[in-house]
Chain A
Amino acid sequence: MKNCTQIEKMLINFKGDTPLDNESKSHLQHCDQCQVLYLNTVAFFDLLNAEKSTPSPPFLATRVMATLEKVEAKKGLQHFIRKELQVAFVVVALMMGVGSAMLFQPKDTYRDESSLLAEYFDVERDGLEQQWLNLYNNEDEE
């Protein structure tokens, strides 16, 4: 007849469908502790096998393929939108650049040096230099 340690070792490799030999059977008849352990192990593997035999959901393949198509379509759309946005951003940036360049361009451009000097020293209209001088003088007066 087997002892408790041998029964425990045997139960470690038990998978739920292993038949018991006569020696183990006679030990289990006399040892309550091993009997409980054996019954618990059998019950555990019965439950495990029942859970294992749950069938996979029907139409899983169809569902997977449908989801994949959706994911791919979404990805394609996102890629397209991203590309479009990139182009739009570049166009807007260019337009803003041109616009700002036009905005900050001085209206009166001097074609040559002489016209610039003429404006600067224009005595009749208190040329720019005189205007600045007056400005400082007025400040002093205040």
Chain B
Amino acid sequence: MKQLPDDNTIIEQILNGEKQAYTMLVKRYQQKVFQLCIGFLHNDDDAADLTQEVFIKVYQKLSSFKGDAQFSTWLYRIAVNMSINFQRKRKFQSLFQRIENEKESFQIAGENDADQYLKKEEQKQMVKTVLDKLPTNQRKAIVLSHYDDLSNNELAEVMQLSVKAAESLLFRARAQMQKILKAQHKM
């Protein structure tokens, strides 16, 4: 069976003008980047759009990738930063516009699926509420660890921390999440 080339070989090919080789990188990481985006945004359409934007930005910045770290680390770092920026921008989106968007999705879902759609949205809202209450760094740690299944070493690399600091950040994030879950129950 033909073995696929590693990331650095593909990057070399792209930089030498073989642009189509980028398809291999996109296919290799699209699910991981999408999972990361959905962990921050909790909306399939927004996550799909953002995943596309991430890959476009990565391609445009590919010449600045020095290869000191793994390509995946660099990619995740860009995806995390873009997700946080997207979230900030979305906070400024008017409430009215958001309601309109939700109405539209509700109508597209059709009447039969409406109940299921509402239930799914409610569940997403619960996850979103808990995660959005976390400070940004803790949220990054939770998303990278739980949505992308990164090990503590990988998490430390992406967040540019020592492994000990990353472990401690993740523990604090989980403890904080537990506090939020407790508080939600009391309400």
Binding site for B on A (CB under 8 A): 8, 11-13, 15, 36-37, 40-41, 44, 47-48, 50-52, 54-57, 60-65, 67-68, 71
- The CA-CA distance from A51 to B131 in the complex, in Å, is 13
Residue contact A52 to B52, C-beta cutoff 8 Å: no
* Proximity bits, B19-47, A CB within 8 Å = 1, else 0: 11011001100110111001100101001
**A47 CB to nearest B CB, Å:** 5
Give chain B's interface secondary structure class.
Answer: helix
On whether A52 and B35 interact (CB within 8 A), knowing A60-B52, A71-B56, the answer reads: yes
Residue contact B178 to A41, C-beta cutoff 8 Å: yes
Residue contact B124 to A47, C-beta cutoff 8 Å: yes
Contacts of B74 in A (CB 8 A): none
Binding site for A on B (CB under 8 A): 19-20, 22-23, 26-27, 30-31, 33-35, 38-39, 42, 44, 47-48, 51-52, 55-56, 59-60, 123-124, 126-127, 130, 146-147, 171, 174-175, 177-178, 181-182, 184-185
- The CA-CA distance from A94 to B146 in the complex, in Å, is 65
Contacts of A61 in B (CB 8 A): 23, 26-27, 30
Q: Known A-B contacts: A62-B23, A71-B56. Give 7 more (CB < 8 A).
A: A13-B174, A44-B126, A50-B123, A51-B124, A56-B30, A61-B27, A64-B22
Contacts of B38 in A (CB 8 A): 51-52, 54
